[in-house]
């Protein structure tokens, strides 16, 4: 997004050094970015985040909901934490940022889903449920705000070579992916930029999975 000219707010909950490193990369390339700590599963912190971003960067036109955890099923606490982080956070952030977009008659919201929303997945039922719910949230908002110049879409990666995808790589998931490799963060970023740039795509889920599954 910074390469496309956007000022970027990098949200984090615990990993301040990594967030600061992203901000520094953007700034060193001539862009504008800030890092802000907020637990986006908590409404009060989300609205505090919204206020600070608006104060420091100006009106917010683009929201990317990508907070996520992938925890193997381990009871009620794990289920609640997964749903709060992966699904409730997207609802809270959308509610916080959407009014300004509707008032300005332009906005883009992209929710980062997963191939697990529509299949067995490899993490657990809580993760499946959270991502399936995220796609339902995407369609619900898309139908309500299209007339206001706001699009809402989801991007659904398959196994991706990141920290979260490490266990899948160790299990040999590459052998099941038709293109012969795991996804890269850049693959997901490019799909995200695609839907942000297209005003006629809304309510859709864009699969980025190397042919592992077809939506």
Give the residue numbers annotated as catalytic, written as ranges: 127
Number of alpha carbons in the 13 Å side-chain half-sphere of residue 183: 24
Nearest to 159 by CA among 121, 110, 112, 127: 121
Q: Rounded to whole angstroms, how far apart are CA atoms 159 and 100? A: 34
């Amino acid at each position: 997004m910074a390469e496309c000219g956007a000022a970027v707010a990098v949200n984090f909950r615990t990993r301040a050094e990594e967030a600061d490193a992203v901000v520094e990369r953007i700034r060193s390339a001539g862009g504008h970015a800030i890092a802000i700590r907020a637990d986006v599963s908590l409404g009060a912190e989300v609205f505090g985040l919204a206020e600070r971003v608006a104060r420091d960067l100006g009106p917010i036109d683009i929201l990317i909901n990508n907070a996520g955890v992938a925890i193997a099923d381990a009871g009620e606490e794990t289920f609640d934490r997964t749903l709060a982080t992966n699904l409730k956070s997207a609802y809270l952030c959308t509610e916080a940022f959407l009014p300004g977009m509707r008032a300005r008659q332009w906005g883009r919201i992209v929710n980062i889903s997963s191939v697990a929303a529509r299949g067995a997945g490899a993490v657990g039922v809580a993760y499946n449920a959270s991502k399936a719910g995220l796609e339902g949230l995407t369609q619900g908002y898309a139908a309500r705000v299209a007339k206001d110049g706001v699009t809402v879409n989801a991007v659904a990666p398959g196994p991706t070579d990141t920290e979260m995808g490490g266990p899948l790589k160790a299990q040999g998931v590459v052998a099941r992916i038709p293109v012969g490799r795991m996804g890269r963060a850049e693959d997901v970023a490019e799909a995200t930029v695609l839907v942000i740039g297209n005003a006629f795509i809304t309510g859709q889920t864009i699969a980025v999975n190397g042919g592992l599954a077809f939506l």
